[in-house]
Amino acid sequence: MLVRTMRIRYKTGLAVGIIVCAAFILGTSVLTGPSISTFTGVIAMIAGIGYLVRPLAELTESELTVFALFGPLKRQFPVAGLRVVDGRIYSGDKKVPVPAWTTNSDDWRALMQRVQSRNGG
């Protein structure tokens, strides 16, 4: 049996916006001298790059795995227990932490179609 893995990415515009803001913060920090803003700019830059290169989640035939932005943490939800209610994904009574506003639009539509088709919805 061939297992297809679907990667759900973060929205590219969100990542670019964070990187642009981080560059602005770092640029003003260079002009005004090092301060807490320098640290804030570096953290924002790292987060923006993380949004570009890390997937938000992966969907296989048997489970949806949601990754942390940094580090090895991940949460796994069995596909059999997933359902869509009002445009949100639930596993049992708990909402799955995959917000539509941070997810790539094409990936979100494909994820919704696959979850609904598995559950006959």
Tokens of 99: 């917000």
Whole-model pTM: value is 0.84
Percent of the chain with pLDDT strictly greater than 70: 95
Residue-wise pLDDT for 63-113, tens only, equals 999 999 988 999 999 999 999 999 899 998 999 999 999 999 999 999 999
